[in-house]
Amino acid sequence: MHEITPFITLLTVHILALMSPGPDFALVVQNAGRYGRQTGIIIALGLSLGILLHSILSLTGASLLIREQPALFAILQAAGGCYLLWLGIGAVKGVLKQAWQKNDICSSPAPEQHLVANRKQALAKGFTTNILNPKALVFFLSLLSTLVPAGMSVTGKVTAISLLWLTSFLWFALLAWLLTGQRLQKKLQQWTPFIDGLCGLLFVSIGSMILLRLALPA
């Protein structure tokens, strides 16, 4: 019973963090709006698997070792910053290309091929976006080291990790589900260039700030 209180606090803080706008949130909004519900849910699974790995690394002490090695942590930050920057530039370039080709007839791939291609990429994109986010590493390290007592049983720690993973998947899957309702999906399709551009600028901003912070240490 004494382990219930940490679980409640852990989930409350985690849910609030999940609901705040960031790379994970933007990735679901962008891809669910463009490619549909199935791709959005696969993205959600990829993001939640990244969170699962962050949680395991934090509880096993691996994240602490990374955090205490300045060179290793800087490499992780640089990789995360570059990846977000790459995602952002790709999204913005796509919007600009679409604007230039506005008068051309869009020849999109057949639905089945389109979905297969996205299934192959969606899981990896969701996982990579989360696992390479240095803020996620610091967040889960702080969260779990503070709210999961060192003396908690192995069963308790496994339960905590499982709850974090399940909550993450359910939240992002719910977000993808809500964004792909029939009426909302039609509206989102009309706003796709705006959503892509906004998400792209968000990725570019976060990636640039990470890299700038590395280049100009306080």
pLDDT in tens, 134-149: 888 888 888 888 888 7
- Residue 197 belongs to domain spanning: 4-101+111-215
Q: Is residue 185 part of a domain?
A: yes
Q: Is residue 128 part of a domain?
A: yes
Is 42 in contact with 190 (CB distance < 8 Å)?
no
Q: From the CB of residue 114, how many other CB atoms can be counted at a distance below 10 Å?
A: 14
**pLDDT exceeds cutoff 80 at 23:** yes
Q: What is the pTM of this model?
A: 0.80
d(CA 15, CA 29): 17
Q: Which H or E element spans position 206?
A: helix 192-215
Q: Is residue 57 part of a domain?
A: yes
Q: Is residue 195 part of a domain?
A: yes
Q: What is the pLDDT of residue 70?
A: 83
Q: Is residue 106 part of a domain?
A: no
Q: Mean pLDDT throughout 193-207?
A: 82
Q: Report how many domains make up the chain.
A: 1
d(CA 162, CA 56): 10
d(CA 195, CA 174): 19
| Band of residue 164 on the pLDDT scale cut at 50, 70, 90 | very high
pLDDT digits (tens, 9 = 90+) for 34-82: 888 889 999 999 999 999 999 999 888 887 888 788 888 888 889 888 9
Q: What is the pLDDT of residue 217?
A: 64
Q: Which residue has the tokens 């992002």?
A: 172
